[in-house]
Amino acid sequence: MVRVFNWKTIPPAPFPFLKSGAFHNMRRAGTYVSHRGTRRGQVARGVQCLLDRGVEFRTEFLVRAAERVADPGQLAGAIDNERCRDAIRARSRHPFAKHSSVEESQQILDRFIAAGGNFIDTANFYTKGHSEKIIGDHIGRDPAKRDRLVIATKFSGNLYPGDPNGGGSGRKSVIKACEHSLRRLQTDYIDLYWLHNWDVNTPIDETMAALEDLVRSGKVRHVGVSDTPAWKVAQANVMAQFRGWSPFIGLQIEYSLLERSVEQELVPMAQELGLGITPWSPLKSGVLSGKYTRSSATRVKADRSAFMGTFLNETTYTLVDELEIIAKAHDSTVARVALAWVRMRPGVSSTIIGARRLSQLEDNLKSLDLLLTAAELSHLDSLTKPTFGFPQNMQPLFPAIHNGGTMVNGVHALPSAFVLEKTDRPY
């Protein structure tokens, strides 16, 4: 049974979000090719005709041409000029765009919904707004579909370079971004509106007041926060509580077996204040997909190297080896085990997955059927357990200082020598 994300009482591990920005093509809104490839053919013929006449193209022109079709890789293949093909293919290899057509994106959405999924996450600047438009074209304009789904999007991204008010978290930007997102999504309300990342130039009370106005107007149902320090989130929610405004109810953070620094401040903060955690990149940009192993290191090229960074190393390969062992014990896959670990972490309400192929979606969804044992969870936890700094690194000393010689909430501690020796008496 698929659990439903209740914004008032957050369940422990419902269905994952579907991250639309991770699977659709990198095209400008309204310019994608039809299923017959008409526009791609027109662009290819036009470029080739001018090439045949000796015209030299500037790279930026070719990039613009690639933006006007759904599959720039196929456009490149239709042009008989090596330099032009390379320029167009470089455009198609953008880390956020991995050769999924609009039609494929719609198939993934349909399969996700048919499987019981009801959360879709995107952002205003994913593929320059085209992500939201794809959702609007396929779902937003259909009330029967739209009202059964929780659609989340984000503000912060500036789609108007040179305009200081085009992005960020100021009132002007937040309200205008919401209006544009509603237009592209073809809906009159957003279920969950995320602050995408902290804007250090805007007072948080201005942002929270603007979000409250959007909630009261009915344009937004709930608000969440992403990629923001724990202390700033706490400040915002305490302020909202005292002023009777809508608080952040969700926290979107990068969280995986290879990214656990969030466990120092962000995760405890979310648990204490009641924010549902929705991890993004639970497979660390594909590093934990099972594709990258010690044996394949010399044969497989990282296709998201900008995000993988230096994570393809011995530590990661050791982790993947252990994931493979657990996967075999469950007749499962490395990716499913890594997703199951994230799903079963304390405080996690829903996991964001980014599938650009139907097969990836199917494999990811099967992770919901996988329940890791306590021993397996403990083993994986020990492999990548983070080392925290101050003050968390002092916490093991606190029980002995606070209540040494007793047991509190199941934790027993001997008296601390820092407080009193056995023969000492307090003054």
- Does 126 qualify as catalytic in the annotation? yes
Q: Is 190 helix (H, G, I), strand (E, B) or coil?
A: strand
Structure tokens at 81: 């000029």
From its phi and psi, is residue 17 left (phi > 0), alpha (psi between -120 and 50) or beta? beta
Alpha-carbon distances, residue 56 vs 13, 45, 75, 353, 355 (angstroms) = 56, 15, 17, 42, 38
Tell me which amino acid residue 39 is.
Answer: R
Counting every residue written for the chain, the total comes to 427
DSSP 416: P
Catalytic one of 126, 193, 255, 292 = 126
Strand ranges, E, within 255-410? 276-280, 352-353, 406-408
Cβ-based neighbours of 165, under 8 Å, separated by 6 or more: 172, 173
Cβ atoms 290, 328 nearer than 8 A = no
Cβ-based neighbours of 291, under 8 Å, separated by 6 or more: 300
Cα–Cα distance between 335 and 323 in angstroms, integer? 8
- Classify residue 424 by burial, with Cβ atoms within 10 Å: 0-12, 13-18, 19+: exposed
**DSSP-assigned letters across all residues of 10-40:** --SS-PPEEEGGGTS----TT-PPPTT-HHH
Helix count (H) and strand count (E) of the chain?
17, 10
Q: Which residues are catalytic?
A: 126
